Chains A and B, each alone.
Chain A
Amino acid sequence: MFEDIPVDVGHVYEGERIRSANMFVELAGPKSVGAELLRVVEKVDDGKIEVIGPDTDEMIEGESYKFVLQVNVQGDLLEEEIEGVLETKIHELSNYIQGYMHLNHRDQIWCRISKEAFESGFKFKHIGKVLGILLKEEFPIIQGIEIKISTDPKEVEKFVEKAMEIYEKRDAMARELSDEDVDVFYGCVMCQSFAPTHVCIVSPDRSGLCGALTWFDCRASAKIDPEGPVFEVNKGNTLDDVRGEYDNVNDVVADKSQGTFNRVYLHSVFEYPHTSCGCFEAVAFYIPDLDGIGIVDRSFKGETPLGVPFSSMAGQCSGGKQVEGFTGICIEYMRSPKFLQADGGYERVIWLPKELKDLLDDFIPEEIKDKIPTEEDATKIKDIKEFLSKADHPIIIRWEETEAEKIETKKSDDEIVMESTIPQVAYAPEISVPASGEFRIILKNAKIYAEKVIIRRNENKFDKS
């Protein structure tokens, strides 16, 4: 298949690096410019390989050259959407060529040809030939393929500019990839060494809590490091598309958390929020007094509206626990259109640090941006409430609704609520005190001495007449 290629071609050369001391020339990379682009087109001249500008034998040893690789593919089943997937494959397949180093993608490629390869007669058409064969082999839906390699400085520069526009369009599309578009999510148990029951579920709309792994990164990790901590999760049937609950995801979480949890909502802080490892970039926390959600990230050192800083809050909900009202998140998740969608998304967010807000400037909906206070506006519940009222934050509608409900429902005789006036010492969102018999004692907003003590009669099983 590769008889007329002067160097070896094979899987074994993957990961080959060419030291500058052994290099003939360098293409693109940090010292020059270049790009590669794959496009799906209607018609190609199958097998055509064109080289524009100086070929290897016209180059000077040790120099860096501008470099463009253009691949046009044609096939009845090919669609524009698949261009990105095919294009990323160029990196892997190029590395099969002995004496040809290829790093990264797009306008960030960096290639080198070894002295040895050059001496054996390696030319640019050989790159085209190998890629043509391997791409067709890997993706049989490709029926025709033509490749153009350019080292002509003017042509390269012009092309890179054009390619950038196409990359941007693709990025916008990739961001739109959503949980519904895929069948496979990924799981990660890297943090189980210190959070033994934590299972990260990474979907297109929800990146790993540490912020390091997007769905795309996980796809790469599972492939590059199959023995590693990242694995495929078939999401299974959708149980609740708003909260983000899937039957098989639940099963995997149960299995990998040693049965500790068996349900998880990807897009809510209530009921069954995603467990939290300890290395999350931020925490989304419920503020009961205002029925809204606050966000605090690791770099914010001050106190949150709950009266504690990030570190204490992280201590309460980390270690692989599932604590209702709290969930660890990464900053990238706050750019997702599904960001806490079950709870109301940004319409439910009533506080976040200024720095974080600036970072998310393009993603917080315009109509609500100015209505969410930061530490510069308020940090105490009372002040936040005032700010929200003045700013006409949508949370107000929620308050009004709850108020209306309260008036309608008469307080049950079985529930005694005691309000306490003892000052706040420490904070816990909810504590259940073990009690026997027909009562449950729940301390809400416990601040060492409870702010509220609820003694509620359990529903009487025999009283159903």
Chain B
Amino acid sequence: MIVAVSGKGGTGKTLVASLIIRNLLDKDLDILAIDADPDSNLPEALGAKAEKTVGDVREELKRETGKGEIPYEMGKWDVLEYKIMEAVVETSKFDMLVMGRPEGSGCYCAVNNMLRKIIETLSNNYDVIVVDTEAGLEHLSRRTTQNVDIMLIVTDTSKRGILTAQRIKELSDELDIKFKEMYFILNRANPKKKEELLRKIEDTGLNIIGTINEDENVTEYDIEGKPLIELPENSSSVLNVSEIVNKILYKKEIR
């Protein structure tokens, strides 16, 4: 199952992605975290470090090809497969792949085509894949999220955040990208004004699956640069995301 987290920049995609992973850790699943945001910070949130990104692999291959260093017989498919496996960060509880920098100049069609297939094959080895997408709508038009089963769109309480969320929904309809399920998460909700906001959002036709209340722990961890995955068990955000995961995975009481 592939779960992708999208939304406007700064709304808390990485928080949601890392807490979903945290929630799944004790469920005896093979988990792959994919950081698809070029301005990647999922690794920090997960307390893991990527030595090599998919972007690095792409440039490395380009360089080696230019110099004529790749043996003809071996072929780029198998070389790429190896390099991607090298780029996978393996921890005892989950694996992680960081997409990294976008392409430089020149043509990357063929390489990207191979990478897509290789990452697809790799992904088939996991029970759950959680993708932290790049901010905005680009992932839709580039169709990097088209095999996603569940699309979660995070918005904060700002008008612009909600607008982006709406656009993601509209664009995916327009491009005929059919996610099996698509839900919205309201982040940084102030408990006092929550009900009113939720009503407003429901009026726009977005299907809200849960809210994450403002959490001082998150602010503190962010300031200190501590991995969000290590947030205390009783943090409100951890509890909120846990409810959301339960609803998604066990399909209980979706509003």
Give chain A's interface residues, CB within 8 Å of chain B.
15-17, 19-22, 30, 84, 88, 91, 103-106, 108, 110, 167, 170-171, 174-175, 177, 188, 190-191, 208, 210-217, 219-221, 224-225, 228-229, 277-281, 298, 331-332, 335, 359
Give 7 A-B pairs besides A19-B95, A104-B81 with Cβ atoms closer than 8 angstroms: A20-B92, A106-B74, A208-B110, A212-B107, A212-B108, A217-B76, A221-B77
CA A216 – CA B76 in complex, angstroms? 9
Top 8 A-B pairs ranked by shortest CB distance?
A279-B107, A212-B110, A20-B90, A210-B107, A174-B72, A15-B121, A104-B82, A17-B125
Q: Kindly state the separation between the CA atoms of A30 and B87 in the bound complex, as whole angstroms.
A: 11
Expressed in whole angstroms, the Cα–Cα distance for A210 and B65 within the complex equals: 10
Q: Which chain B residues (77-110) contact chain A, with CB distance < 8 Å?
A: 77-79, 81-82, 85-86, 90-93, 95, 105-110
Residues of B within 8 Å of A174, CB to CB, are 71-73
Inter-chain contacts of B62 with A (CB < 8 A)? 211
| Nearest CB in chain B: distance from A451 CB, A | 32
Task: Say if the beta carbon of B191 comes within 8 Å of chain A.
Answer: no
Distance of A359 Cα from B69 Cα, bound (Å): 11
21 pairs, CB–CB < 8 Å, chain A vs chain B: A15-B124, A17-B85, A21-B30, A104-B74, A104-B79, A210-B106, A210-B110, A211-B66, A212-B110, A212-B111, A214-B75, A215-B72, A220-B76, A220-B77, A221-B77, A225-B113, A228-B113, A229-B113, A279-B107, A281-B106, A332-B65
Among residues of A, the one whose C-beta sits closest to the C-beta of B82 is A104
Q: CB distance A298 to B105 under 8 Å? A: yes
User: Out of B73, B78, B91, which one reaches A103, CB within 8 Å?
Assistant: B78
Q: Tell yes or no: B117 within 8 A of A by CB.
A: yes
**CB nearest neighbor in A for B76:** A217
Interface residue? B67 (CB, 8 A)? yes
Query: A104-B74, A108-B79 known; A17 and B113 CB under 8 Å?
Result: no
**A21 and B90 contacting across the interface, CB-CB below 8 Å:** yes
Whether the pair B121, A91 counts as a contact (CB closer than 8 A) is no
List residues of chain B with CB within 8 A of the CB of A108. 74, 79, 82
Chain B residues with CB under 8 A of A110: 82, 85
B25 CB to closest chain A CB (Å) equals 11
B117 touches A224 (CB 8 A): yes
* Cross-chain contact A21 with B110 (CB below 8 angstroms): no
Q: A104-B82, A216-B72 are in contact. Are A16 and B125 (CB under 8 A)?
A: yes
CB distance from A320 to the nearest CB of B (A): 14
Q: Are B77 and A171 in contact (CB under 8 A)?
A: no
Q: Are A279 and B106 in contact (CB under 8 A)?
A: yes
Determine how close the nearest CB of chain B comes to the CB of A177; give it in whole angstroms. 8
B1 contacts chain A at the CB level, 8 A cutoff: no
A-B contact count (CB 8 A): 124
Closest B-chain residue to A278, C-beta based?
Answer: B107
Q: Is B205 among interface residues, defined by CB-CB distance under 8 A?
A: no
Given A17-B122, A19-B125, A91-B78, also A214-B110 (CB < 8 A): no
Contact B110 A213, beta carbon cutoff 8 Å: yes
A21 touches B79 (CB 8 A): no
Q: Once bound together, how far apart are the Cα atoms of A201 and B114, in whole Å?
A: 19
B66 touches A225 (CB 8 A): no
State the Cβ distance, A44 to closest chain B Cβ, in Å.
Answer: 23
A212 touches B73 (CB 8 A): no
How many angstroms from the CA of A282 to the CA of B107 in the assembled complex?
Answer: 11
Determine if B71 and A190 form an interchain contact, defined as CB atoms under 8 angstroms apart.
no
**B82–A298 CB distance below 8 A:** no
A171 is contacted by which of B65, B72, B76, B111 (Cβ under 8 Å)?
B72
Residue of A nearest to B86 (CB): A30
Would A216 and B122 be within 8 Å (CB), given that A19-B30, A332-B65 are in contact? no
Contact with A along B113-129 (1 / 0, CB 8 A): 11001000110110000
Q: How far is the CA of A228 from the CA of B121 in the complex (A)?
A: 16
Q: Is the CB of B109 within 8 A of A214?
A: no
Across the two chains, which residue of chain B brings its CB closest to A104? B82
CB distance from B80 to the nearest CB of A (A): 10
Q: Which residues of A contact B65 (CB under 8 A)?
A: 211-212, 331-332
Asked whether, in the complex, the Cβ of A103 is within 8 Å of the Cβ of B81, the reply is yes
Query: Which A residues are in CB contact (< 8 Å) with B121?
Result: 15
How many angstroms from the CA of A210 to the CA of B105 in the assembled complex?
A: 12
- List, in ascending order, chain B residues with CB within 8 A of A15's CB: 121-122, 124-125
B68:A191 contact, CB within 8 angstroms: no
Asked if residues B73 and A171 are in contact (CB atoms below 8 Å), the reply is: yes
Q: Assess whether B66 is in contact with A220, with CB atoms less than 8 Å apart.
A: no
Q: Which among A91, A210, A280, A298 has the highest number of chain B CB atoms within 10 Å?
A: A210
CB <8 Å contact, B93 and A217:
no
Known contacts A16-B125, A21-B90: A216-B81 contact under CB 8 Å: no
Partner of B71, one of A103, A171, A298: A171
A300 to B211, CA, bound (A): 53
In whole angstroms, what is the CA distance A210 to B109 when docked? Answer: 8
Known: A103-B78, A104-B79, A279-B109. A21 touches B72 (CB 8 A): no
Question: Residues of A contacting B124 with CB < 8 Å?
Answer: 15
Q: Which residue of A lies closest to B79 (CB)?
A: A104
Q: How far is the CA of A16 from the CA of B211 in the complex (A)?
A: 38
Which B residues lie within 8 Å of A171 (CB)?
71-73
B110 touches A106 (CB 8 A): no
**Which of A30, A88, A190, A280 lies in contact with B110, CB distance below 8 A?**
A190
Q: Which residue of A lies closest to B30 (CB)?
A: A19
Contact A225 B117 (CB under 8 A): yes
Assembled-state Cα–Cα distance A22/B124 (Å)? 15
Complex interface bits, B142-176 against A, C-beta within 8 A gives 1, otherwise 0 = 00000000000000000000000000000000000
- Given A88-B73, A91-B78, A110-B82, A19:B90 Cβ within 8 A: yes
Query: Which A residues lie within 8 Å of B78 (CB)?
Result: 88, 91, 103-105, 220
Cα–Cα distance between A91 and B117 once the two chains are bound (Å): 17
Alpha-carbon distance A104/B113, docked complex (angstroms): 18
- The answer to whether B72 touches A175, judged by C-beta atoms less than 8 angstroms apart, is yes
Q: In the bound complex, do residue A170 and residue B76 qualify as a contact, i.e. CB atoms below 8 Å apart?
A: no
Residue numbers in B under 8 Å from A281 (CB-CB): 66, 106-107
Chain B residues near A225 (CB-CB < 8 A): 113, 117
Chain B residues lying within 8 Å of A211, measured Cβ to Cβ, are: 62, 65-66, 107
Residue of A nearest to B106 (CB): A298
Cross-chain contact of B93 among A21, A278, A331 (Cβ < 8 A): A21
Closest residue of chain B to A88, judged by CB? B73
Query: Which residues of chain A are near B66, meaning CB under 8 Å?
Result: 211, 281, 331, 359
Minimal Cβ-Cβ distance residue in A for B105: A298
A217 touches B77 (CB 8 A): yes
